[in-house]
A = this chain, B = another copy of it.
Amino acid sequence: MEDALGAMRLDRELDPALFRAIVDQAPVSIILADRDGVIRAWNRASEALFGFAAPEVLGQSLDVIIPERLREAHWKGYNRSLASGETKYAGRVMTTRAVHKDGRRLYVDFSFGMLKDAAGAVVGAMAVGRDATERYLAERAGR
């Protein structure tokens, strides 16, 4: 039997507090937003990438890092994914424009996924990102 929360795949002897630490210390930005698009987890790499400290964004809308022009399309897709429990971006990397706290443009290689609870209900959505700004600008300059 598969355990919906992944206990089968993650060593049962591990201190549960370590999973919080894995999320927080992961070498990539991990953002969890709830069904309302409110940020519920924002790890260290997210602080480094976007410039916002976690207390500045926990409880805030994802809009803080979404360029204004892209918000409407973002939320349309977000709500569609929540309703269906699936993202059309599964298995893909999306290089997406985002906003740093200081206002400058970032380009981020994002992977998106849904987060489900033990009963299979969609709790929210996850974004895992790596900074792609340098590569993106170099590629654009080379075109």
Contact = CB atoms under 8 A, between A and B. Distances in A.
A24 B47 contact: no
A66 interface: no
Given A58-B11, A111-B130, A5 B20 contact: yes
Contacts of A25: 6, 113-116, 126
B43 A6 contact: yes
A5 B24 contact: yes
A47 to B, nearest CB: 7
Copies in the complex: 2
B30 A22 contact: yes
A111 B27 contact: yes
B9 A44 contact: yes
29 contacts: A5-B21, A6-B21, A6-B23, A6-B25, A7-B20, A9-B24, A9-B41, A9-B43, A9-B44, A9-B47, A10-B20, A11-B40, A11-B59, A15-B117, A16-B20, A18-B117, A18-B123, A19-B19, A19-B20, A21-B123, A22-B115, A26-B126, A27-B90, A27-B112, A27-B128, A28-B28, A28-B111, A28-B128, A111-B130
